[in-house]
Amino acid sequence: MQRDCNEVWQNCLDFIRDILPDKHIFETWFLPLKPLALQDDTLTLKVPSMFFLEWLEANYIGELRAAIKKELGEGGRLIYSTAIDSSTVGQDVTLPSKDRLATQNTPTAIPMNMDTNVKDFPNPFVIPGLKKVKVNSQLDENYSFDNFVEGACNRLARSAGYAVAQNPGKTAFNPLFIYGNVGLGKTHLVHAIGLETKQRYPDKTVLYISAEQFFQQYLDSVKNKTTNDFLQFYQMMIDVLIIDDIQFFANKQKTQDVFFQIFNGLHSAGKQLIITSDKSPAELSGLEQRVISRLKWGLSADLTIPDAPTRVEIIKRKLQKDGINNMPEDVIEYLAYNISTSVRELEGVLISLLFQSSINKSDITIELAKELIDKFVKSTAREMSIEYIQKVVCDYFSIPVSVMLSKTRKGNVVAARHISMFLSRKHTNNSLAVIGSKCGNKDHATVLHACKSVQNSYETDRRFRSDLDEIERLINE
């Protein structure tokens, strides 16, 4: 007898609820799934979006599998169905730009005891009105999800941020804590989350503020004896509070106290907090333990330097946004493969390059790019990377890097793979294990073997020797 899909799914849910550590996770990621059909041993579930599906697969596939197996036996299968709906917007690059009103907060009723004194409202972000006040969100529309390129470097932070924007205060990610070195996109990402929230929930009051501004406001409130208003403003008017660069609070005891108070007030009222820092919670020094422990309540996600193909994509997205379409492909790749310090530095060189070529009315060439990189980018940035070596080697053999990284053992591909490993060993400080993992997931013994075999061919094969000499010349160019 065929069972009903609702009943089967309900049993799965009961099972999953029991094994998950946290009811927020269950509510966020499992309740929105809807059973559509059950045919033989295959259950079809409707998933709200592609993002949702990826997240489920990445994080909860074990739980799902266990539940299906328990309900439908070994042969049990799961099929997802996703509707293309607005929740995929953040991942689609070709959509028209966002509603330009997205940064504006709607007026919020002011707390009663402030009503009498609207004109002197102490907060600089409040624009006084008659009955209602408007909180200036300070969000920058240029920093949208559309303009934020996704890569392995930011996937968790981006996905969590996107989830938060769909359901501020209602996911397990509260606070959402995003950390990483300078110039890797923290500020951009939190603006994107704020903008997306405003897009979804125009009535929610979002505020982006740097930790430094927050500190300054607090000092002013002490000076003007309006600290109560300050506290009340944050605790009563804000639905989504974004504080950027919280490491700035280090050793500022009083500021940490008020932040702690505001954090608790907002968190217990189910309001969303999004915080960035240049260090992980564990490495943040000069912050009180109780503050650090709060920061760890939700999700901490880091941003790392994008890999070279993602850097190519970032440059292309930026050029496209600025309407520039005459940048040669090889120059784009040259920049992406040679600047591996931060996205900010990458953008800096890109802008100077465009500027230089326009004032000199000259072409944008690799030579010009090289000149500017030498001039602007710290010398460490030009350190040879495995990715750069791979790129030069693959170009030399005219094969795509992706093929070199695949399992193919055809003709030049093996030679290219071996030479990449050999040169990475020679010109970078990476261990054999790291080189192996970046050259198609090989172990260190394979890398060692490759290096020996290259050495061998170099000594015995004249044709091979001239190839290798030429490639070395190219990577050192």
- Binding residues for ligand ADP, rule: CB under 6 A, are 147-149, 154, 180, 182-188, 314, 343-344, 347
Nearest residue to the partner Mg ion, using Cβ: 187
Q: Rounded to the nearest whole angstrom, what is the least distance from the CB of residue 196 to ligand ADP in the complex?
A: 15
User: Please, which residue, 188 or 442, has the CB nearer to ligand ADP?
Assistant: 188
Task: Answer yes or no: are the C-beta atoms of 209 and 243 closer than 8 Å.
Answer: yes
Among positive and negative, which fits the CA dihedral 350, 353, 359, 365?
A: negative
- Record the tokens describing residue 116, joined without a space: 């009498």
Nearer to ligand ADP, 28 or 187 (CB): 187
Question: What is the three-class DSSP state of 134?
Answer: strand
- Nearer Cβ to ligand ADP (133/350): 350
Amino acid at residue number 375: K
Of residues 298 and 306, the one with the C-beta less far from ligand ADP: 306
| Direct distance between the N- and C-terminal alpha carbons of the chain, in angstroms, rounded to an integer | 72
- The least distance separating Mg ion from the CB of residue 344, rounded to whole angstroms, comes to 9
- Closer CB to Mg ion, 187 or 357, in the complex: 187
Q: How many CB atoms lie within 10 A of CB 252?
A: 17
Residues that contact Mg ion, how many (by CB under 5 A): 2
The one of Mg ion, ligand ADP, none whose footprint includes residue 35, by CB under 5 to 8 A per kind, is: none
DSSP state of 121: -
- CB of 142 vs ligand ADP, minimal distance in Å: 7
**Looking at beta carbons only, is 186 or 198 nearer to Mg ion?**
186
Work out whether 232 is an interface residue with Mg ion (CB under 5 A). Answer: no
Question: What is the closest distance, in whole angstroms, from the C-beta atom of residue 182 to ligand ADP in the complex?
Answer: 4
- Structure-token pair, residue 163: 């989830």
The set of residues, in sequence order, having a beta carbon less than 8 Å from that of 453 and lying 6+ positions away, is 418
Residue with tokens 């919020």: 108
Among ligand ADP, Mg ion, none, what does residue 109 contact (CB within 5–8 Å per kind)? none
The residues in 168-187 that bind Mg ion, with binding defined as CB under 5 A, are 186-187
Using DSSP, how many helices (H) and how many strands (E) does the chain show?
Answer: 20, 11
State the binding partner of 474 from ligand ADP, Mg ion, none, CB within 5 to 8 A by kind: none
With beta carbons less than 8 A apart as the criterion, state whether 372 and 349 touch: yes
DSSP code per residue over 336-362: HHH--S-HHHHHHHHHHHHHHHHHTT-
**Position 277: which residue type?**
S
344 binds, among ligand ADP, Mg ion, none (CB under 5 to 8 A by kind): ligand ADP
Minimum Å gap between C-beta 84 and Mg ion is 33
Q: Where are the alpha helices (DSSP H) in 181-244?
A: 186-200, 211-223, 227-237
Among Mg ion, ligand ADP, none, what binds residue 161 when CB lies within 5 to 8 Å by partner kind?
none
**Closer to ligand ADP at the Cβ: 249 or 422?**
249
Min dist. Cβ of residue 251 to ligand ADP (A): 21
> Per-residue string for binding with Mg ion, 21-60, x by CB under 5 A?
----------------------------------------
User: What are the C-alpha distances in Å from 466 to residues 452, 459, 470, 474?
Assistant: 18, 11, 6, 12
Residue 420 Cβ, how far from ligand ADP at the closest point, in Å?
A: 26
Q: In the bound complex, what is the minimum distance in angstroms from residue 190's beta carbon to Mg ion?
A: 8
Which string of x and - marks every residue 106-145 that binds Mg ion (by CB under 5 A)? ----------------------------------------
Place of tokens 């991942």: 91
Q: Which amino acid is at 439?
A: C
Residue 208 has phi, psi (to 5 degrees) of: -100, 130
C-beta closer to ligand ADP: residue 347 or 472: 347
d(CA 262, CA 287): 16
Q: Could you write out the DSSP letters of every residue in 415-453?
A: HHHHHHHHHHHHHS---HHHHHHHTTS--HHHHHHHHHH
In the bound complex, what is the minimum distance in angstroms from residue 256's beta carbon to Mg ion?
Answer: 20
Distance CA 98, CA 412 (A): 47
Q: Which residue is nearest to ligand ADP (CB)?
A: 185
State how far the alpha carbon of 219 is from the alpha carbons of 10, 216, 291, in Å. Answer: 54, 5, 19
Q: What are phi and psi of 20, to 5 degrees?
A: -80, 145
154 binds, among ligand ADP, Mg ion, none (CB under 5 to 8 A by kind): ligand ADP
Residue whose CB is less far from ligand ADP, 335 or 399: 335
Minimum Å distance from CB 37 to ligand ADP? 38
Report the interface residues with Mg ion, using CB under 5 A. 186-187
